[in-house]
Amino acid sequence: MGLFGFILLIVVVLAIIGLGWRLFSSGVLSGFEKVINVGQPLVKNLTDQAKQYVNNPNARVTTN
């Protein structure tokens, strides 16, 4: 894993302990949403299709 991975793991664990799991996870998800909204339309479309599939796996995923 290396030194960088170990330090990164410690920082994440300390952030979770300091912020609490709910606040930490909501912050990560909101940051992910910002990246998706700013990113290329292809990434946003794939993310929307994945969300549709997760909500209803039997439904047919539509493309735009």
3-class SS of residue 20 = coil
Does residue 44 contact residue 37 with C-beta atoms inside 8 Å?
yes
Name the strand (E) or helix (H) holding 6: helix 2-19
Q: Using CA of residue 38, residue 44, residue 47, residue 52, what is the dihedral sign?
A: positive
**What does the DSSP 8-state code read for residue 60?**
P
Mean of per-residue pLDDT scores for the chain: 78
pLDDT at 13 over 80: yes
Question: What average pLDDT score do residues 24-31 get?
Answer: 82
pLDDT at 60 over 80: no
pLDDT of residue 39: 61
Tokens of 53: 């599939």
pLDDT band at residue 41 using 50, 70 and 90 as cut-offs: confident
Q: Look-up: residue for tokens 């606040």?
A: 23
pLDDT at 4 over 80: yes
